[in-house]
Structure 1
Amino acid sequence: MSIHKGVKVTNEQVYQLDREYVFHSWSTQGQLNPMVIAGAKGCKLWDYQGHEYLDFSSQLVNVNIGYQHPKVVEAIRAQASELVTIAPAMANRARGEAAKRIIAHAPKGFKKVFFANAGADSNENAIRMARVFTGRSKILSGYRSYHGNTGSAIVATGDPRRIPNEYATGHVHFFQPYLYRSEFHSETEEQECERALAHLRRVIELEGPEAIAGLLLETIPGTAGILMPPAGYLKGVQEICNEFGIVMILDEVMAGFGRTGEWFALDGFDVTPDLITFAKGVNAGYVPAGGVIISEKISDFFNDHYFPGGLTYSGHPLAMAAIVATIDAMEEEKVVENAAMIGQEVIAPQLADLQKKHAMIGEVRGKGVFWAVELVGDPDKQTPLDADTMVAIKAGLIDKGMLPFVAGNRIHIVPPCVVTAEEVHLGMDYIDQVLTKYAI
């Protein structure tokens, strides 16, 4: 039980309020049992009864700077006192400062930022830009992907959630590299890269290069399993796109702003796309925001060509103030450097130790604070661990005091970028204990 504005609040009250009035996403409403959260700080959350949880999920892999960062909270308060909202057609200082800071961390050759409200409509507008810029219609994207749940973004998505939502047209999918479960019968990373690029080229040839406007690809597919691209793959995709005049769009919604120990995940792969989409970590989700970072050639094109897109809350001042404060705090406090160090010196060796200990860990992969632990029922056949056991493992981690990110047969290790070594040690101990209980 807790005190909230002079009123006693319980988990049960909040739970009942939710179940009576709130309609949840991606779910059958009658089967829901949502966790109640009262507050959070840093990498910890708690409910109204004082039960505490270590966050290894960053919610939906977005709370990069941790919860309740005082500089970001204060920036939102200050902006609300100065100007709480303004239309996107107006010039606003917070919006300009946010765009300036984002461009400062983008690759050379990027010029402007179009602001959206989330990752989905960021991808939606990047697709629109590619189509207008090229005069073509088709969009290529990977089967192992998630790009959001708006009209074109969900159809660009490759995972099965697109199937009941396939209303947009002009979308074609291809297989990306994934050596552990190769679609190309590869035995090495080099083979996987070469064959995946040959497959992509063949898809483009058969779909007609003159019809393809853009290729949308997560730099590192996140929800699909944190699939690290082999050396040379993204550079090869860029070369193919340049050859056929296809706009290359890298989706950095989940992987950007420190998640991989780089400001952008693409920084680690020697690749420069034409458009970069972002959201989530840009202000840790404190106020919804996203956008498209636009290369100079595409930005200049729209100097004398009409852009047929816009959003009422594009560049909302509260979200922009949160972006400015988040980026400033990340720079001052070396949050990106912390994510890189934690990944290399703490997470990677601890996951390697867990893999040696537990036969059910088929593969670990990732960098920074962006990792996946793939669990299997049969290590030799690489059979994905069954759904019932995965549900039990997730419940076991929550019982231990962890908020996990579980997708398919994987545990994703995605704590906030400010996580400490001590917190990682604690989380890994929880995982070790639960996997021991369900050892094969």
Structure 2
Amino acid sequence: MSSVSENIDDRLSVLPDEILSHILSLMPTKFAVRTSILSKRWRYTWTLVTNLDFDDTQGPPYNANIFKKFVNRVFKFCKTSHVKSFRLHISYNQYMCLRSSVSNWIDKAIGLTVRELDICGIQHELPLSLFTCNTLTNFRLDLSDCDYQYREFPSQIYLPCLKTLDIVGYCGPFIHADKFIRGCPVLESLSLEVSSNDEQDCVIKIPTLKWLKLVYSSATNVYNNKIVLRVPKLEYLFVGGILCSFFVMEDVSSLVGASIACWSSIIDYMPADLLNKVRGVQTLAIEDFPFASPLPVFPNLKKVELNGVWQFGQITQFLESCPELETFCIDFVGWRGVKPEELGQVKFDRKSIPACLLTKLTAIKFSKCDGDTWDMEFLDYMLGNAHVLKTVTVYAQENLLIEEHPFYAQVLKIPRASPHCEIHFRRWILPPPQEPEYEDPYEAYAF
């Protein structure tokens, strides 16, 4: 047994430093440093890592001085001259104890020609060197747990290589965030999650932008402001939260996909207006969206995914608006547990069949199926009316797929309008619960 262990140890030990460095760079820095106690060979191998990942928000609280000492010593002993990514997440309770060091750590990472920054929980100003970093390609700033979310960014911002910008929990006028954006001349992906809106219209003019995500986490005031999109290369648009702005799309000729996940809107016809603006897309996902009628026609739509509470009549109305639809995905439609009078129309209207079911729809994916009355009604309608359907994939709980359960046989007995339709069953597997850490993660290291 010992010889086997020695052989395994030898095999790891003879790997080149570049490979070991790459392996250690894939894990949080606290775990990479722990390998220093394995043997002499491993004592300083971690110092070659190209990713630095510090997070004091996971696990039980501990002494902030231990965390500060750990980060300082990592920077002291780290031998790499180039850092690919630097991740620093500070908990709200620990920040004041670490305030004097945080800016210095970020500045050191920038000095190591960092390319990716992920900063969370920083209560006060960021170092000025961050806003003129000429190596940064990805930047994520999470302010959601901060007391002081409003940021007026520096007057001089120039990030010539930044392609991805993600700002979460920003509480302030769009105009200041727009100043940040203007300093990123090659930006391709922009994600903004804001907790308020303002009176002024926001003009997003980014010639290089391909992916845009805008989320309103709250809307304290009603201003009827506009978001003007001048993004000729935009391919994907995501709008979520509380819809509180009208969209003016002056140039979105390249848009092929959109996702809308709005909890509510401050004006009733905002949802219909937004759907009308994206009617030319080829793929569309809708989640928790306040249904608006009448719907526009989506002449190019090939794939759609619906999530949330949809009445049966609304589903058929939506399908009627998608004459070219080929793939239809239902991901946990919230009709379960709803009383018939609350659901609206209990059964599908079979008098008129949407055109896409007769000539275009070839694939259906039904996720998180419970096998209740509403689920069976949905499957019965789709299988009985989709004339060119090829595959139906049902993701159901494991207990529904055992041989003794009638669900499996009931679905297979449903009459199918398409003679070429195949039904596939897949297990819907719940994600495993995460176990909390109960140890102090910064005690076991050897420098």
Under a length normalisation based on structure 2, what TM-score does the superposition of the two structures give?
A: 0.22
Under a length normalisation based on structure 1, what TM-score does the superposition of the two structures give?
A: 0.22
| Higher share in strand | 2
- The structure with the larger Rg is 2
Relative contact order higher in (CA < 8 Å, ≥ 6 apart): 1
| Higher share in helix | 1
